[in-house]
Amino acid sequence: MINEDYKAMLGGKSVIRELSEYATARGKEIGYENVFDYSLGNPSVPAPSAFTHAMVDLYEHGDPVSIHGYSPSLGIPEVKDAIAESLNTRFGMTYTGNHIFPTTGAAGALAHAMRAVTKPGDEIITFAPYFPEYQPYVNGTGAKLTIVPADLDNFQINFEAFEAALNPNVQAVLINTPNNPSGAVYSAETLRRLADVLRDKQREYGHDIFLISDEPYREIVFDGGKQAYPAKFYDNTLTCYSWSKSLSLPGERIGYVAVNPAATDADLLVPMMGQISRGTGHNCPPSSIQRGVAKVLGETSDLSVYETNMNLLYDALTGIGFDVVRPGGTFYIFPKALEADANAFCMKAKQYDLILVPSNSFGVEGYFRMAYCIDTDKVKRSIPALERFAREEYG
């Protein structure tokens, strides 16, 4: 008999994917350039030429047997050393290569981090609004995901609700900053307070609580700001990173877990992730891509288009009368819908060829997400459609 649990998941397809498929089909009717598709968080700028050159150089001059050979199961040592050194320089940490576990993107990193510090039946807490894939990621581990309601004023952490949700069964807390879908960048003050609460609760419960920090948007921060480094605030931190967004390499599937050297059992966690891989069938990202990213650790794609698009949309949306928290980073914005039912709101927007994602799957009612990793020209052309939509449906 086939597995009924996975079969049941077929009925609950991702809303974001469905909207993206609709946008593609609509594009075939009216030309995709006329569909204001804000559904998918797929980078719209190319990888930097330094990455292309690094890969060409590797393929032309490297040893083909090792380039295409198996990676050691804990990752290629010189790649891990280079990542550790880059993090130490940028964030004042003390990683060695032994604290770095290369993974297939942030998804692979989260899969290993979660399994390393929880077991089936444990509880993992995260904060709304949150990336909807967290639910299947956590389900796959056998742990239970608990959602803390959002702080709608600024999308930092709702500490009152967080403290109410904490209990001795919580083994890990999952954060994502800069945040998908809100664009919020957790401040140093938020991270300090979070760390204080976690330290208190570790003492009270008499066991570790790990912070799993999902940071694929770390470099996409606006107004010349920087994302404070969460592991700097709390010893028991597993940092999950991906080059999907910063180097525009989502299809190459490359990221890592960095285990804070000050964490409990820090020296065991990466080797344990190697054991977890044996069960997940994951087995390290491709050798060539590990080597390629290690050569361009100081680089990013030209990310400036995201800030340009954010400013255009923020000004347009506030001008129209939307209630919206200005994003500090990412390529998402998360305004309040003009009616309580976000699904109905986004359905109506489709009639104006505006593809907006309702907020329900992010754990918040009555909002919507726009992924503005699209051409600036299209963002500009979408503004009259947004104005018309708001006026005709809600004016």
216 binds ligand PLP (CB under 6 A): yes
Give CA–CA dist 395/390, Å, rounded. 6
Task: Answer for the pair 124, 171: CB distance below 8 angstroms, yes or no.
Answer: yes
| Selected binder of ligand PLP within 47, 83, 107, 148 (CB under 6 A) | 107
Distance in angstroms (rounded) separating the CA atoms of residues 227 and 140 = 29
- DSSP per-residue codes, 212-270: EEE-TTTT-BSTT-----GGGT-SSEEEEEESTTTSS-GGG--EEEEE-TTSTTHHHHH
Interface of this chain with ligand PLP, residues 161 to 180, rule: CB under 6 A: 176, 180
| Nearest one of 75, 70, 78, 134 to 254, comparing CA atoms | 75
What sign does the dihedral 174-180-182-186 (CA atoms) show? positive
Say how far apart CA 19 and CA 379 lie, in whole Å: 18
Chain-centroid distance, C-alpha 279: 24
Q: What is the DSSP string of 41-98?
A: ----SPPPHHHHHHHHHHHHHS-HHHHSSPPPTT--HHHHHHHHHHHHHHH-----GG
Q: Does 102 bind ligand PLP (CB under 6 A)?
A: no
Q: Exactly one of 105, 129, 358, 363 binds ligand PLP (CB under 6 A); which one?
A: 105
The one among 51, 95, 127, 131 contacting ligand PLP by CB under 6 A:
131
Would you report the helix, strand and coil content of the chain in percent, each value rounded to 5? Answer: 45, 15, 40
Q: Is 214 in the site for ligand PLP (CB under 6 A)?
A: yes
Which residue among 141, 171, 190, 242 contacts ligand PLP (CB under 6 A)? 242
Number of residues forming the site for ligand PLP (CB under 6 A): 13
What character string, x for contact with ligand PLP (CB under 6 A) and - otherwise, covers 311-330? Answer: --------------------
Nearer residue to ligand PLP within complex by CB, 156 or 176: 176
**Is residue 246 within the footprint of ligand PLP (CB under 6 A)?**
no
Give whichever of 106 and 296 is closer to ligand PLP, judged by the CB atom: 106
How far apart CA 97 and CA 42 sit, in angstroms, is 30
Q: Does 290 bind ligand PLP (CB under 6 A)?
A: no
In the complex with ligand PLP, the residue whose CB is nearer, 255 or 335, is: 255
Residue 252 in contact with ligand PLP, rule: CB under 6 A: no
Q: Applying CB under 6 A, does 362 fall inside the site for ligand PLP?
A: no
Q: Is 75 in the site for ligand PLP (CB under 6 A)?
A: no
Nearest CB to ligand PLP, comparing residues 254 and 317: 254
**Least distance in angstroms from the C-beta of 128 to ligand PLP:** 13
Question: 349 Cβ partners below 8 Å, 6+ apart?
Answer: 355, 356, 368, 389
Which residue number places its CB atom closest to ligand PLP? Answer: 105
Residue 244 contacts ligand PLP per CB under 6 A: yes
| Segment 222 to 241, residues that bind ligand PLP, using CB under 6 A | none
CB of 106 to ligand PLP, least distance (A): 4
Which span sits near ligand PLP by CB under 6 A: 227-235, 242-250, 300-308, 342-350? 242-250
| Cβ within 8 Å of residue 198, ≥6 positions away | 173, 209, 211, 234, 236
Residues lying near ligand PLP in the complex (CB under 6 A): 41, 105-107, 131, 176, 180, 214, 216, 242, 244, 250, 255
